[in-house]
Homo-oligomer: A and B are copies of this chain.
Amino acid sequence: MKLTQIASLINAKVENLKQDIEIKALKSIESATEQDLTFIKDPKKLTKTKAGAILTPSFIENLDIPQLIVEKPDIAFYKLIEIFYPEERQEGFISERAVIGKNVSIANSAVISEYVVIKDNVKIGKNTVVYPFSYIGENTEIGDNCIIYPSVVIYKDTKIGNNVIIHSGAVIASDGFGYYQEGNQRKKIKHVGKVIIEDDVEIGANTTIDRALVDYTIIKRGTKIDNLVMVGHNCKIGENTVLVSQVGIAGSCNIGNNVILAGQVGVADHITITDNVIVTAKSGVGSSITESGIYGSSINAIEWKKWKRVMSVIYKLPEIIKKFKVE
């Protein structure tokens, strides 16, 4: 695509245009070469580039290549990715190697790949694509324009909205983790509730979302979940919330809208987190958070020799403080 054509697609002003070069690929600033377009968010950070052209928020002096000036070069770049690498739409298709149960309704435009198993009373909406080795349990409903990548397992009774993406290895609606004591033994509490996933949700690879006891676990509209996340039974996760990789949320939590739980955060059971909360990576949430804001308890790694000394002091803090009669 010609540079001027690109510029007009994203409403960019072009500077340094000597020749309307052909852009072959979109690349990062480190890897771009002369036929590639790249972008920079902060022009002051530009050290060097071999790129053929660059998206930038303001004109960069001493940079000889064509510059496309646009307010948000990163977003312009993301939009160009969509144009440069369009999704190939497959035609609606049901493989003969798929196993389809009774009373299943599949939209004509949906794609059911080889080695998919769909159990009884399932509905699959328009343009939804189900990749190989995915299993869709009884009474499950999947909306329009969803992508179910290979090896996703959806247990029965699940309700999935439109435009939902589920990555490989994710397990939806496995049993909640609950037992009661009977004598010496732990007896399994049967979980007969369901999982509801609303529109525009994305679920990462190998993430697990457990079914509720009798009601439902719900992931609300627009929420994005990364890989290897655990959402416990009966949790309610709000709208436009972000759960970064390896987050774990125990049972019966209420997470608000526009919440961000950074990587490896843990949330204890029955916790409520209000809207617009950010919890920093690796922190533990053991009490409910009722005011919006940023919370955390993570400690940054330092030299181990120094940290070991810190750790040994930490254990003695109560006695030290007491000795000084501070408290």
A binding-site residues for B, Cβ under 8 Å: 25-28, 30-31, 74-75, 78, 81-82, 84-85, 97, 99, 113-115, 117, 131-133, 135, 149-151, 153, 155, 165, 167-169, 171, 174-175, 177, 179-180, 182, 184-190, 192, 200, 202, 204-206, 208, 210, 213-215, 222, 224, 226-228, 230, 232, 234, 240, 242, 244-246, 248, 250, 263-264, 266, 268, 278-287, 289, 293-311, 313-315, 317-318, 320-321, 323-324, 326-327
Contacts and interface: CB of A to CB of B under 8 A. Distances in A.
A291 B186 CA distance: 23
Contacts of A283: 301
A214 B32 CA distance: 10
B213 A204 contact: no
A44 B248 CA distance: 31
B174 A202 contact: no
A224 B179 contact: yes
B174 A222 contact: no
29 contacts: A25-B214, A26-B214, A28-B213, A74-B180, A75-B182, A81-B189, A84-B192, A99-B132, A115-B133, A133-B153, A151-B153, A171-B227, A174-B227, A177-B204, A185-B200, A208-B228, A228-B230, A230-B263, A264-B266, A280-B301, A294-B304, A295-B304, A296-B301, A296-B302, A297-B299, A297-B300, A300-B311, A306-B318, A323-B326
Contacts of A246: 230, 246, 248, 266
Contacts of A317: 310, 313-314, 317
Contact of A303 (B177, B285, B293): B293
Nearest to A189: B78
A306 B85 CA distance: 46
A171 B313 contact: no
A309 to B, nearest CB: 4
Given A230-B245, A307-B297, A311-B299, A174 B205 contact: yes
A92 B242 CA distance: 44
A78 B310 contact: no
Most buried by B among A81, A205, A311, A313: A205
B250 A248 contact: no
A135 B224 CA distance: 25
Contacts of A30: 215
Nearest to A212: B28
A316 to B, nearest CB: 8
B310 A318 contact: yes
